[in-house]
Chain A
Amino acid sequence: MAEAAAEPTSSRAWHEIVLQTLKKNDIRLVPYVPDRVLTTLIKNIHADPFFTTFPTAREEEAVGIVSGAWMGGMRGAVLMQTSGFATLPNALASLALPYQIPLIMFVSERGTLGEFNYGQSLVCRTMRPVLDSLAMEHHTMTRLDELEFTVDRSIKQAIATQAPVALILSPLLTGGKVFTA
Chain B
Amino acid sequence: MNHAPTAPTRNTKVMDRFDLTKRLVARLKNEEAVIGGIGNTNFDLWTAGHRPQNFYMLGSMGLAFPIALGAALAQPSRHIFALEGDGSLLMQLGCLATIASLAPKNLTMIVMDNGIYQITGAQPTPAATVSDIVAIATGAGLTQSTWAADEDDFERLIDNALTNDGPNFIAVRIDDKPGAGTTDRDPVQIRQRFMLGLGVRKQI
**Residues of A near any B CB (own CB < 8 A):** 29, 31, 52, 54-58, 60-74, 76, 90-91, 93-95, 98-101
Looking at B58, B66, B198, which has the most chain A CB atoms within 10 Å of its CB?
B66
Q: Which residue of chain A has its CB nearest to the CB of B94? A: A57
Of the candidates A29, A72, A91, the one having the most CB atoms from chain B within 10 angstroms of its own CB is: A72
- Tell whether B112 is near chain A: CB-to-CB under 8 Å: no
Residue ranges of B at the interface with A (Cβ–Cβ < 8 Å):
33, 35, 55, 57-75, 78, 92-95, 97-98, 101-102, 187-188, 190-191, 194-195, 198-200
Residues in A whose Cβ lies below 8 Å from that of B93: 57
Are B187 and A98 in touch, CB under 8 angstroms? yes
B194 touches A54 (CB 8 A): no
Top 5 A-B pairs, shortest CB-CB distance: A94-B59, A57-B94, A68-B70, A72-B74, A64-B66
CB pair B58 A68 closer than 8 Å = no
Chain B's closest residue to A94 (CB) is B59
With A72-B72, A95-B60 given, can you name 19 additional A-B contacts, CB distance below 8 Å? A54-B102, A56-B95, A56-B98, A57-B92, A60-B60, A63-B60, A67-B63, A67-B70, A68-B35, A68-B67, A70-B74, A71-B194, A72-B70, A72-B200, A73-B74, A74-B70, A90-B59, A95-B63, A100-B191
B74 touching A99, Cβ below 8 Å: no
Q: Decide: A95 near B198, CB < 8 A? Known: A57-B97, A68-B35.
A: no
